[in-house]
């Protein structure tokens, strides 16, 4: 008995029915065979069908039956049908009956099912190397599919005689080569649109795959894959599908379908957002929705990340109408980003349909910020021995101060033994780079350049509450007094910090207490200083930070945060070799008169004023070195003091050449660059060999002296006038009293003589001489 090839849909000219049946049954399918049996008149015929060794009889239609037959030492099942036409007249028609038997593999599980994995392998290659040509390449490897899925995808392989649950990649090739099936029909029915939609949601852009095609076949598979004798299949000849004793009709060598998107606008920032949502730790609490690719490029110039991602999120990329799928996503990173994996410019994520998997990620910038260089204010080239050196190559944190002081008036207060100075001051904190250790697991940081700090603040402006809002990463600032302050990482947060410092300055300074400096710190031998600055009219004035036009990241243009003191007064007095400094919200004072008189030698008179010879006035200036939350900061400072017209520096010498005097109109401008100790480790080492000695002479103008002495001169002249007038009046009164006394004596004498010569006159008679009448006339006149 033979089975007609067309009975199971085989092209008799090209197909091999025996191989097809064997292939179908090897895949776990069932083939319905239909043998036509005939018994002519007068005959009794029994037809027996023994199935091929690769199959078993699963079912037969009546009148056929299944029986057991011994074949060698093995019991097998066969089908038989008996046609009894013995009693039929000779001229009657023969008896015809169909022997319908369903062949299959029985209860035996197919080899391919034992070793089969997921139905599909989906490989996505996201190419972000060129921002102008970002695209996604896709390859679907079809290992095995259910017949329902194949039907949905355009291949209806089941017929009335063929029943299949699943078809392997070898099976698809078998249908394409042996049967009247065109596998190309599947290409137009693949659910590519749904895949485009899910991927667009993942990448945050509109993506559309082009019409797919079969990939070029190679040694790993393909629609035209050919098994290699003795290597991929145990058959003696090479076929597109295998019927060997091992691995028959397997799914090992898949059918591959490929497609690609047109150039699209794909952002690595959207991928970072997805990764952050599928990791643990502090990184997962950062909102990446408002972070752009340029932001990440800047951040990765000073930061490297190491974290684990739960790759199961990749399953969300698979459309719901896809069968079980293993997915692999390869991200070709932008040229400014590197991975520490086997291939430095890619990240690879895999997710198997049946397993939970985590992927360790290590990424860093391909152009890390080179912070190990010197920074000078003016010098070009900037060397480590440049006089205006701000930052040494070894300084992770580099800040400096720009101090401007405009002294408008100096006053001497003799009654209190002090000197006051009225002034306006601006102190600008210049931040070139910051060396931070935020203690975030998996995060390593280089020093952050000023350009990156600008971008971080601008990034925070896009988010309510700043960059780290709702994040578990702390951004607190500890000033050493009071409680630490939560800093909102944004320009608005910078403004809030400015307002807080202005409003809380007096309270913070009161808590900080007086500033006490001994003679070594002050730099004046034999003198110490105690200062209270709590009453200064301090105002923080932090301006808004914006991005520069230069696309390159650097630290040579610092962030400047200004504080101002307007119309303030400092008073200086000396109490037993201690300089007492007090502050009032009016003006700033300089050096007390008693300090001047105690420190400076005897003054010399000059044509322009009073010269305080400074040949013996030496002040030791030590570098700035502080231990802070940012580490040990060894900063520089550039100080500019505009002197009043009444005070002039006649000579100024710095051992290190750090001081200069220039004229601005009628006023002098003193500029001084603080010495630095950028390579020192301890304060002793810093101050011992890096301090500067400044020697100077000061001249006070006659106008200042006269102005200060004017009240006293006026008092002296008024006092002298009063004294002279009083003296003249007393002399006149004394002279007149002497005249009156002399006249009285003469009258008494005359009266005595008259008594002797004329006798005593009556009591109501007075004896006077002519001068009495002369006096009356004088008084009347």
Residues 62, 186 within the same domain: no
Q: How far apart are CA 615 and CA 601, in angstroms?
A: 9
Residues 464-486 have a mean pLDDT of 81
pLDDT number for residue 618:
73
Mean predicted confidence (pLDDT) in 457-464? 92
Say which residue, 414 or 254, is predicted with more confidence: 254
Which one is predicted more confidently, 284 or 554?
Answer: 554
- Mapping DSSP onto H, E and C, the string for 584-612 reads ECCCCCCCCHHHHHHHCCCEEECCCEEEE
510 in the same domain as 571: yes
CB 223 within 8 A of CB 257: no
Cα(552)–Cα(297) distance, integer angstroms: 11
Last residue of a domain, one of 215, 238, 266: 266
Burial of 603 (0-12, 13-18, 19+ CB in 10 A): middle
CA distances from 116 to 110, 120, 144, 166, 168 (A): 10, 11, 8, 11, 9
The Cα 427–Cα 639 span in angstroms is: 9
- What's the sign of the alpha-carbon dihedral 236, 242, 243, 247? positive
Tokens of 516: 């006490």
Q: Of 174-178, 610-614, 687-691, 744-748, which range is least confident? A: 610-614
Q: Please indicate, yes or no, whether residues 733 and 757 belong to a single structural domain of this protein.
A: yes
Q: Are strands 303-310 and 213-214 parallel, antiparallel or unpaired?
A: unpaired
| Domain count along the chain | 4
Residue 398 and residue 433 in contact, taking contact as beta carbons nearer than 8 Å: yes
Question: 623 Cβ partners below 8 Å, 6+ apart?
Answer: 634, 674, 675, 676, 677, 680, 686, 687, 690, 691
Tell me whether residue 564 is in a domain. yes
pLDDT score, position 606: 47
What is the pLDDT averaged over residues 626-634? 67
Taking the C-alpha atoms of residue 124 and residue 329, their distance in angstroms, rounded to an integer, is: 5
β-pairing, 398-413 vs 636-642, is parallel
Mean of all residue pLDDT scores within the chain: 79
Which has the closest alpha carbon to 170: 246, 230, 104, 236? 246
CA distance 182 to 175: 8
363 within 8 A of 357, measured Cβ to Cβ: no
pLDDT tens-digit series, residues 352-389: 877 778 888 899 998 899 999 999 988 889 988 888 88
Is 422 found in the same domain as 389?
Answer: yes
Asked which of 675, 707, 739 is the last residue of a domain, the reply is 707
Q: What does the alpha-carbon distance between residue 190 and residue 129 come to, in Å, rounded to a whole number? A: 29
Average pLDDT on 604-620 reads 53
C-alpha–C-alpha distance, residues 116 and 365, integer Å: 41
Q: What is the per-residue pLDDT for 518?
A: 64
Output DSSP code: residue 63. Answer: T
Instruction: Provide the pLDDT confidence category of residue 325 given band limits of 50, 70 and 90.
Output: very high
Domain boundary among 223, 241, 266: 266
Residue 735, pLDDT score: 66
- Distance, first Cα to last Cα, the chain: 183
* 344 assigned to some structural domain: no
778 or 165: whose pLDDT is higher? 165
Phi/psi at 452 (5° precision): -70, -35
Per-residue pLDDT of 419-432, as tens digits, reads 677 888 888 999 99
Residue 143 lies in a domain: yes
Indicate if 494 and 450 belong to the same structural domain.
yes
Whole-angstrom Cα distance, residue 304 to residue 291? 17
What's the DSSP call for residue 764? Answer: T
- What are the angstrom distances between the C-alpha of 96 and each of 44, 51, 500? 12, 21, 106
Rg of the chain over Cα atoms, rounded to whole angstroms, equals 54
Beta strand segments in 502-558, E: 515-517, 528-532, 538-541
> Which residue range(s) make up the domain with 216?
112-266
- Domain membership of residue 186 (yes or no) is yes
Q: How far apart are CA 540 and CA 47, in angstroms?
A: 108
Based on the domain organization, do 207 and 224 belong to the same domain?
yes
761 and 699 part of one domain: no
Please check whether residues 99 and 137 belong to one and the same domain: no
Joined together, the tokens standing for residue 208 give 């559309």
Q: With bands split at pLDDT 50, 70 and 90, how would you rate the model's confidence at 316?
A: confident
Among the ranges given (121-125, 280-284, 600-604, 662-666), the one the predictor scored with the smallest mean pLDDT? 600-604
Q: How many residues does the chain have?
A: 781
Closest by CA to 488, choosing from 501, 502, 474, 478, is: 474
- Encoding tokens for residue 96? 């015809």
Q: Does residue 333 belong to any structural domain of this protein?
A: no
Which pair of tokens denotes residue 646?
């009444």
Provide the CA 361 distance to its chain's centre, in angstroms.
19
* 77 located within any domain: yes
| Whether pLDDT at 342 is above 90 | no
Instruction: Kindly report which listed range (215-224, 304-313, 451-460, 734-743) carries the lowest average pLDDT score.
Output: 734-743
Confirm whether 273 is domain-assigned.
no
Same domain, yes or no, for 533 and 670? yes
Domain-embedded: residue 296: no
Q: Are 556 and 400 in contact (CB under 8 A)?
A: no
Q: Indicate whether 55 and 22 sit together in one domain.
A: yes
As a whole number of angstroms, the distance between CA 429 and CA 501 comes to 14
Kindly state whether residues 494 and 575 are assigned to the same domain: yes
pLDDT mean over 118-144: 91
Q: Position of tokens 């008169």?
A: 593
The span from the CA of 153 to the CA of 172, in Å, is 13
What does the pLDDT read at residue 715? Answer: 43
Q: Are residues 699 and 646 in the same domain?
A: yes
């Amino acid at each position: 008995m033979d089975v007609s090839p067309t009975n199971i849909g085989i092209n008799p000219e090209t197909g091999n029915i025996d191989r097809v049946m064997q292939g179908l049954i090897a895949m776990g399918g069932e083939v319905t065979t239909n043998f036509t049996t005939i018994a002519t008149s007068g005959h009794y015929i029994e037809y027996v069908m023994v199935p091929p060794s690769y199959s078993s009889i699963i079912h037969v239609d009546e009148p056929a039956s299944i029986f057991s037959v011994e074949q060698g030492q093995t019991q097998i099942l066969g089908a038989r049908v008996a046609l009894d036409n013995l009693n039929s007249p000779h001229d009657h028609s023969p008896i015809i009956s169909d022997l319908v038997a369903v062949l299959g593999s029985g209860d035996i599980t197919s080899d391919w099912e034992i070793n089969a994995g997921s139905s599909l392998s989906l490989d996505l290659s996201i190419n972000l190397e060129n921002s102008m040509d970002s695209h996604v390449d896709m390859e679907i490897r079809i290992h095995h599919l259910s017949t329902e899925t194949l039907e949905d995808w355009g291949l209806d392989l089941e017929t009335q005689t063929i029943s299949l649950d699943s078809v392997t990649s070898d099976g698809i090739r078998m249908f394409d080569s042996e049967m009247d099936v065109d596998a190309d029909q599947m290409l137009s029915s693949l659910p590519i649109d749904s895949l485009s939609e899910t991927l667009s949601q993942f990448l945050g852009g509109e993506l559309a795959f082009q019409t797919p095609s079969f990939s070029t076949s190679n040694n790993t598979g393909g629609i035209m894959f050919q098994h290699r004798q003795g290597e991929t299949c145990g058959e003696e000849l090479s076929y597109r599908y295998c019927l060997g004793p091992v691995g028959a009709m397997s799914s090992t060598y898949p059918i591959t379908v490929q497609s690609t998107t047109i150039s699209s606008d794909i952002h690595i920032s959207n991928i970072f957002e997805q990764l952050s949502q599928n990791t643990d730790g502090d990184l997962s609490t950062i909102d990446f929705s408002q972070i752009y690719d340029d932001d990440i490029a800047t951040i990765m110039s000073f930061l490297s990340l190491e974290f684990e991602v739960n790759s199961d999120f990749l399953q969300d990329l698979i459309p719901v109408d896809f069968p079980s799928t293993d997915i692999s996503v390869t991200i070709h990173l932008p040229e400014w980003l590197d991975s520490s994996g086997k291939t430095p410019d890619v990240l690879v994520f895999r997710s198997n349909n049946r397993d939970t998997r985590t992927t360790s990620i290590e990424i860093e910038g391909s152009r890390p910020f080179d912070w190990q260089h010197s920074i000078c204010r003016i010098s070009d080239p900037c060397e480590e021995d440049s006089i205006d050196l701000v930052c040494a190559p070894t300084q992770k944190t580099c800040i400096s101060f720009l101090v401007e002081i405009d002294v408008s008036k100096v006053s001497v207060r003799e009654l209190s033994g002090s000197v006051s100075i009225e002034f306006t001051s601006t102190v600008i904190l210049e931040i070139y780079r910051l060396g931070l250790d935020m203690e975030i697991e998996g995060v390593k940081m280089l020093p952050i350049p000023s350009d990156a700090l600008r971008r971080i603040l601008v990034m925070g402006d896009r988010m309510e509450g700043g960059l780290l809002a709702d994040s578990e990463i702390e951004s607190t600032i500890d000033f050493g007094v009071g409680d630490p302050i939560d800093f909102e990482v944004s320009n608005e947060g910078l403004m809030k910090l400015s307002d807080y410092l202005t409003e809380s300055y007096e309270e913070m300074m009161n808590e900080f207490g007086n500033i006490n400096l001994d003679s070594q710190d002050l730099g004046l031998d034999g003198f110490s200083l105690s200062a209270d600055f709590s009453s200064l009219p301090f105002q923080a004035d932090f301006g808004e930070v914006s991005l520069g036009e230069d696309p390159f990241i650097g630290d040579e243009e610092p962030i400047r945060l200004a504080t101002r003191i307007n119309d303030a007064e400092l008073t200086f007095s000396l109490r037993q070799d201690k300089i007492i400094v007090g502050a009032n919200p009016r003006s700033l004072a300089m050096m007390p008169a008693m300090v001047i008189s105690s420190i400076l030698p005897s003054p010399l008179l000059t044509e322009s004023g009073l010269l305080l010879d400074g040949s013996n006035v030496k002040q030791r200036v030590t570098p700035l070195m502080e231990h802070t939350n940012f580490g040990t900061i060894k900063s520089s400072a550039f100080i500019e003091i505009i002197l009043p017209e009444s005070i002039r520096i006649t000579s100024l010498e710095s051992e290190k050449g750090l001081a200069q005097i220039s004229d601005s109109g009628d006023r002098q401008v003193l500029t001084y660059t603080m010495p630095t100790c950028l390579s020192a480790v301890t304060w002793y080492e810093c101050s011992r060999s890096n301090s500067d000695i400044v020697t100077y002479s000061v001249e006070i103008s006659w106008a200042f002296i006269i102005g200060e002495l004017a009240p006293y001169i006026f008092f002296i002249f008024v006092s002298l006038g009063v004294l002279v007038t009083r003296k003249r009046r007393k002399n006149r009164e004394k002279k007149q009293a002497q005249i009156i006394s002399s006249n009285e004596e003469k009258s008494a004498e005359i009266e005595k003589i008259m008594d002797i010569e004329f006798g005593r006159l009556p009591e109501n008679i007075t004896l006077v001489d002519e001068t009495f009448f002369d006096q009356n006339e004088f008084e009347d006149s």
